[in-house]
Amino acid sequence: MKKGSGARDEFEHMTNWKRVFENQWEQIRWLISFGQMNELAFKKILNKFAKAFLEIKDNTLTGRLTQIIDSKHFQIKEGDATQKELAMLSDNIL
């Protein structure tokens, strides 16, 4: 039994639903943050690549790659069905 869990015995610790839902909520929040960091990283890498290897600042390659990055679901955007589902799931867990 873990210290600080508030459980009297191992069975109560294993069946503690609050602990399970807290873990699920935390995983959802990490998933959202992970997507946001990935999108930001892709855009920074693209900007550094364009600055180092491309002479024309506003070119079609950079524009097209930016469109591709924006079209992927790295993060949950406002109005996205997945965003609504995760928000509803987070609210239900809380």
Reported as a single tens digit per residue, the pLDDT across 15-25 is 777 777 788 88
Q: Is residue 56 part of a domain?
A: yes
Q: Is residue 82 part of a domain?
A: yes
Q: Is residue 31 part of a domain?
A: no
- Tell me if 25 sits within 8 A of 32, measured CB to CB: no
Structure confidence by residue, pLDDT tens digits, 27-82: 888 887 887 888 889 889 988 988 888 887 778 888 888 888 888 766 566 666 66
pTM: predicted TM-score of the whole model, two decimal places:
0.57
pLDDT of residue 1: 46
Domain that holds residue 55: 36-94
- Three-class SS state of 19: helix
Q: Is residue 84 part of a domain?
A: yes
Count of domains in the chain? 1
Q: Is residue 2 part of a domain?
A: no
- Three-class SS state of 23: helix
- Tell me if 56 sits within 8 A of 17, measured CB to CB: no
Q: Is residue 49 part of a domain?
A: yes
Q: Is residue 54 part of a domain?
A: yes
Q: Is residue 87 part of a domain?
A: yes
